[in-house]
Amino acid sequence: MHIRNPVEWGVDQIRSAGTAIESMGRAGHRTEEAPAVRRITAADLGDALARGVDDFAAFRTDVAFLCVIYPLVGLVLARLVFGYELLPLLFPLASGFALVGPVAAVGLYEMSRRREAGGEVSWADAFEVVHAPSFGAILRFGLLLMAIFVVWLNAAIAIYDLTLGPALPVSVGGFVHDVFATDAGWALIGVGVGVGFLFAVIVLAISVVSVPLLLDREIGVALAIRTSLRAVAANPCPMAAWGLIVAAGLAIGSIPVFLGLIVVMPVLGHATWHLYRRVVAAG
């Protein structure tokens, strides 16, 4: 009997998701034309990041005002975790930015879209997403990502219970010692990072161009996710590199106390819009 490694398992899950979504698309009443997907290179990633930085520089006051919510949410989560002695959930909650980020940044996509079209842009334009032709689909996709986030939290709790738990830590110092100075702690780190990686891969695959596409065109969630899966399949190496860039950016932005997200989130959000433009052909 062949025991699959985590990479094989992750690929199978993505394929299964693609098959399920394909069936959803066939079951729909509306016939939608699949957007064409281009092949990209590392140079396209660099261009998307450069344009993201340029958008941030143009909007820095506006997006700083908008994105201050990210560190505030992070601090509130941290306070809740410490207040209720749920230290084992601190990392899973913090890493959840990567899982819900594609929808949380939708206002930034709208600002980049409007600037690209040559219009005057202010922070208030971020809220114009409510007038997007597929706004309902964006909300449904957001609920899907939230469901994945909840599953990840439950998986993280189960991993803790099987390694350091089920008893809760009695202090921050004791928890840090147990994590980094015991075999069970290193098992928690290894299994937790591995499972978290699989969740991140799945979310990247289904969302890398989905929300910008929904913002840009009147299509359904199923077709948007299928397009994202096709984009990843056509560009596995660039998309893997993009995933690493996002993960590294969010990790750096979370230190100290999530304040770096005021810069990291808008840059990545604007860059994601420009990456979408590189990957998906104009409709």
Q: What is the pTM of this model?
A: 0.78
Residue type present at position 269: G
DSSP string, the chain: -PPPPHHHHHHHHHHHHHHHHHHHHHHSSS--PPPPB----HHHHHHHHHHHHHHHHHHHHHHHHHHTHHHHHHHHHHHHHHHTT-GGGHHHHHHHHHHHHHHHTHHHHHHHHHHHTT----GGGGGGGGGSTTHHHHHHHHHHHHHHHHHHHHHHHHHHHHHT-SSPPSSHHHHHHHHHHSHHHHHHHHHHHHHHHHHHHHHHHHHTTHHHHHHHS---HHHHHHHHHHHHHH-HHHHHHHHHHHHHHHHHHTTTTTTTHHHHHHHHHHHHHHHHHHHBPP-
In this predicted model, what pLDDT tens digit does every residue of 207-245 receive, in sequence order? Answer: 999 999 999 998 899 999 999 999 999 999 999 999 999
* Predicted pLDDT at 83: 57
pLDDT tens track for 32-83: 678 999 999 999 999 999 999 998 888 765 555 555 555 555 556 556 555 5
